[in-house]
């Protein structure tokens, strides 16, 4: 289904102009311009020469928008794969888009209990809407922004999902306030992914997200089959009772945090690690508390960020027989290397109080000329310190600058060569 709400050019002239351009790109001439722009970009055309050539070939009206979308498609390819070349994104929508493989995972879990209609409250370019429709749901895709609605409508059409998707204008704040009987906007499930940026800057305060925290809390209370994407830095104290909070990392970086409505929640906290197509999960039904602190031993373990954020580090520490190097620092230490997806292990070769002169002298003695610097709980700038420590010597090492039992300390690890 196509979206039903016309754009009011008086309320947002720029949005109306973007919508006009997106519609022009949906015509056969527009589609041809887009294909040509993509071909020029893929051939490595420089922006000025490429755009000049495109203008000459397809006209000024289509060339600019086609070039802009083709550039976003290029950026989207690593995450969206072949879909990227059929979808439309503005830079803003692409910046806000989640990873499709994680959206698919979320959709699968949300629908596992049998819900068949889902409200995507703030659809942007439609990443979640697409994942939900592909997982078999009928989706009501809602956004305040006419450009977002246009993108989602075009994208579900391009991917053959339009029969299962309704794109509508609406305010998630009002829809959630009106939710009754476990449903929102007539749907038995909901996805909410609030905008957490304003004016190009990250909004750290959940009360300033759009929709704000009050809508997040109300949705989780009123619509049991729901999931909300939140900032990975969300304070644990904010998580309502009975709600599972999940932190997800991919490739060693934290990529999302989720709050699951009570009908989907299965535990208290969950850490999920996605690496090379494999998914590792760790759960706890209650707070496992802090790991104990102990002296630095032969191995240092750097925990995965989802493990740290989820508050489950003490479970892995217990498994590994490891202790924290300091009660405020997320480094673990034990007497053996760890075979665990949740940590990266480094052999500790030297431990010394933080002192640049002594560190240089030590590296010289050990024949180390190149180091990778890691830090936690220290104001140093890793790249700058690595440059300062560089010499002609052939050996390498990992230098970890941190606090051990409160004292600024350097651990020289994995010395080789
Ligand atoms: C972070 S984006 C969603 C991204 C999307 N889930 C994805 O992965 O592509 C948030 C969206 O919510 C929309 N939005 C913000 N406040 C809203 C509100 N009160 N009602 C409806 N939509 C809203 C924004 O226009 C934006 O498109």
pLDDT tens track, the chain, 417 positions: 434 444 454 457 999 999 999 999 999 999 999 999 999 999 998 889 999 999 999 999 999 999 999 999 999 999 999 999 999 999 999 999 999 999 999 999 999 999 999 999 999 999 999 999 999 999 999 999 999 999 999 999 999 999 999 999 999 999 999 999 999 999 999 999 999 988 778 888 999 999 999 999 999 999 999 999 999 999 999 999 999 999 999 989 999 999 999 999 999 999 999 988 899 999 999 999 999 999 999 999 999 999 999 999 999 999 999 999 999 999 999 999 999 999 999 999 999 999 999 999 999 999 999 999 999 999 999 999 999 999 999 999 999 999 999 999 999 999 998
With tokens 């759960």, the residue in question is 283
Each domain of the chain, given as residue ranges in start order, spans 13-75, 95-284, 299-416
CA of 189 relative to ligand 1 center, distance in Å = 17
**In what helix (H) or strand (E) does residue 149 lie, and over which residues does it extend?**
helix 146-158
Task: Give every CB contact of residue 93 below 8 A, 6+ residues apart in sequence.
Answer: 124, 125, 147, 148, 151
CA of 242 relative to ligand 1 center, distance in Å = 25
User: Which ligand 1 atom sits nearest the alpha carbon of residue 103?
Assistant: 8
User: Which ligand 1 atom sits nearest the alpha carbon of residue 197?
Assistant: 1
DSSP secondary structure code for residue 349 in this structure:
E
Residue nearest to atom 23 of ligand 1 (CA): 122
Whether the Cβ atoms of residue 187 and residue 140 lie closer than 8 Å to each other: yes
Specify the pLDDT at position 1: 40
User: Which ligand 1 atom sits nearest the alpha carbon of residue 172?
Assistant: 20
Residue 336, token pair as written in the block: 């053996």
CATH code reported for the domain at 95-284: 3.40.50.150
Specify the pLDDT at position 11: 53
User: Which ligand 1 atom sits nearest the alpha carbon of residue 127?
Assistant: 9
Whether the Cβ atoms of residue 354 and residue 409 lie closer than 8 Å to each other: yes
Specify the pLDDT at position 76: 97
User: Which ligand 1 atom sits nearest the alpha carbon of residue 175?
Assistant: 20
CA of 13 relative to ligand 1 center, distance in Å = 20
- Label the pairing between strands 329-334 and 368-375: unpaired
CA of 177 relative to ligand 1 center, distance in Å = 17
Residues with CB under 6 A from ligand 1: 96-98, 121-122, 124-125, 127-128, 142-145, 148, 171-173, 193, 195, 210-211
Specify the pLDDT at position 417: 81
User: Which ligand 1 atom sits nearest the alpha carbon of residue 96?
Assistant: 1
Residue nearest to atom 10 of ligand 1 (CA): 195
Residue 277, token pair as written in the block: 């197509």
CA of 31 relative to ligand 1 center, distance in Å = 27
Pocket test for ligand 1, best of 143, 147, 169, 171 (most atoms within 8 A of CB): 143
- Label the pairing between strands 278-284 and 299-303: unpaired
CA of 225 relative to ligand 1 center, distance in Å = 19
Residue 114, token pair as written in the block: 């049998």
CA of 143 relative to ligand 1 center, distance in Å = 6
User: Which ligand 1 atom sits nearest the alpha carbon of residue 98?
Assistant: 8
Pocket test for ligand 1, best of 79, 124, 202 (most atoms within 8 A of CB): 124
Specify the pLDDT at position 80: 97
CA of 84 relative to ligand 1 center, distance in Å = 20
Specify the pLDDT at position 45: 87
276 sits in the region (left: phi over 0; alpha: psi -120 to 50; else beta) called left
């Amino acid at each position: 289904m196509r979206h039903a709400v016309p754009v009011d050019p008086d309320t947002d002239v720029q949005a109306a102009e973007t919508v006009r351009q997106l519609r022009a790109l949906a015509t056969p001439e527009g589609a041809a311009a887009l294909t040509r722009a993509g071909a020029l970009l893929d051939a490595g055309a420089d922006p000025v020469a490429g755009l000049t050539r495109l203008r000459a070939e397809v006209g000024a009206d289509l060339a600019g928008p086609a070039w802009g979308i083709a550039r976003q498609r290029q950026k989207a390819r690593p995450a969206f794969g072949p879909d990227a070349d059929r979808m439309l994104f503005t830079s803003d929508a692409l910046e806000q888009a989640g990873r499709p493989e994680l959206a698919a995972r979320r959709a699968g879990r949300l629908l596992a209990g049998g819900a068949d209609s889902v409200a995507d409250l703030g659809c942007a370019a439609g990443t979640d809407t697409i994942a939900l429709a592909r997982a078999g749901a009928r989706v009501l895709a809602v956004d305040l922004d006419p450009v977002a609605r246009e993108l989602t409508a075009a994208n579900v059409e391009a991917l053959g999902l339009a029969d299962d998707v309704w794109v509508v204008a609406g305010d998630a704040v009002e829809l959630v306030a009106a939710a009754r009987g476990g449903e929102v906007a007539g749907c038995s499930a909901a996805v909410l992914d609030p905008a957490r940026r304003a004016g190009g800057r990250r909004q750290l305060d959940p009360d300033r997200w759009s929709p704000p925290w009050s809508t997040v809390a109300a949705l989780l209370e009123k619509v049991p089959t729901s999931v909300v994407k939140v900032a990975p830095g969300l304070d644990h104290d904010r998580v309502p009772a009975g709600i599972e909070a999940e932190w997800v990392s991919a490739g060693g970086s934290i990529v999302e945090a989720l709050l699951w409505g009570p009908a989907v929640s299965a535990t208290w906290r969950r850490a999920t690690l996605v690496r090379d197509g494999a998914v590792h999960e760790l759960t706890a039904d209650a707070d496992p508390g802090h790991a104990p602190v102990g002296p630095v031993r032969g191995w240092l373990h750097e925990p995965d960020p989802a493990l740290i954020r989820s508050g489950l580090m003490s479970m892995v520490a217990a498994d590994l027989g490891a202790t924290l190097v300091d009660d405020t620092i997320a480094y673990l230490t034990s007497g053996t290397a760890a075979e665990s997806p949740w940590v990266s292990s480094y052999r500790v070769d030297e431990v010394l109080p933080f002192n640049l002169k002594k560190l240089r002298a030590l590296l010289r003695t050990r024949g180390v000329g190149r180091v990778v610097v890691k830090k936690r709980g220290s104001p140093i700038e890793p790249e700058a310190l690595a440059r300062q420590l560089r010499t002609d010597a052939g050996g390498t090492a990992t230098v970890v600058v941190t606090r051990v039992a409160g004292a600024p300390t350097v651990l020289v690890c994995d010395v080789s060569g």
